[in-house]
A and B are shown apart, each in its own frame.
Chain A
Amino acid sequence: KQEVTQIPAALSVPEGENLVLNCSFTDSAIYNLQWFRQDPGKGLTSLLLIQSSQREQTSGRLNASLDKSSGRSTLYIAASQPGDSATYLCAVRRYSMLTFGGGTRLMVKP
């Protein structure tokens, strides 16, 4: 059974810092990996999708990498802003199943 772990569970940083969120998964037979953002009480917003054949994807200040063989992905956020405060979830897909990690709750302080 696929297990997805995210470290750290919570993170508080001052505005302007570059930061890295980690995601690991136990079964490397995945189709793709998605990073989501979730604001309190809201739905999930897809940030980046990395196909199993890709190594990284970039969108603005966000960069996600994937090392499928070692079962790891990282989400890099450059020059963090208070508006980045949210919970970040990674999810791996096999067939139609998405398996989510527990999330990292990020607080960026002004």
Chain B
Amino acid sequence: DTEVTQTPKHLVMGMTNKKSLKCEQHMGHRAMYWYKQKAKKPPELMFVYSYEKLSINESVPSRFSPECPNSSLLNLHLHALQPEDSALYLCASSQIPGTDSYEQYFGPGTRLTVT
């Protein structure tokens, strides 16, 4: 099983709402990632978790709050977002980096619209 699943597929939220994005993998990967992708742009890294601990935060605003409750799950909590935060949010997972052959597996994404 090389699948990364993400829920929901689509999310529309107001600027005062609180919502969460979920990501799950059962490949035994111990590194998980959140990316943000705007239309016709490449994905941009937001957060990296290694062994359920936050290892990289790419200067993401605090209205995005990641959480890794266990080795299979990754959440992204959203609060007080702005319309410019509307994007495709991608989750990925991989083995812990340390070998040339490690690759990242991506989920289908959550299309977020902030109104």
Residues of A whose CB lies within 8 Å of any CB of B are: 31-32, 34, 36, 41-46, 49, 51-53, 89, 91, 93, 95-98, 100-103
Contacts and interface: CB of A to CB of B under 8 A. Distances in A.
Contacts of A51: 100-101
A42 to B, nearest CB: 6
20 contacts: A31-B102, A34-B103, A41-B109, A42-B108, A43-B4, A43-B90, A45-B106, A46-B103, A46-B105, A46-B106, A49-B101, A52-B100, A53-B100, A96-B31, A96-B48, A96-B50, A96-B55, A96-B97, A98-B45, A98-B104
B28 interface: no
A56 to B, nearest CB: 14
A31 to B, nearest CB: 5
A46 B55 CA distance: 24
Sorting the interface of chain B by its residue count into under 10, 10 to 19, 20 to 34 or 35 or more gives: 20 to 34
A71 to B, nearest CB: 17
A97 B31 CA distance: 11
B42 A97 contact: no
Is the contact region of chain A dominated by helix, strand, or loop, or is it mixed? strand
Given A41-B111, A42-B109, A102 B100 contact: no
B100 A31 contact: yes
Nearest to A87: B40
Contacts of B103: 32, 34, 46, 49
Contacts of B55: 96
Nearest to A4: B42
Contacts of A95: 97
Given A96-B31, A103-B42, A43 B100 contact: no
B8 interface: no
B100 A96 contact: no
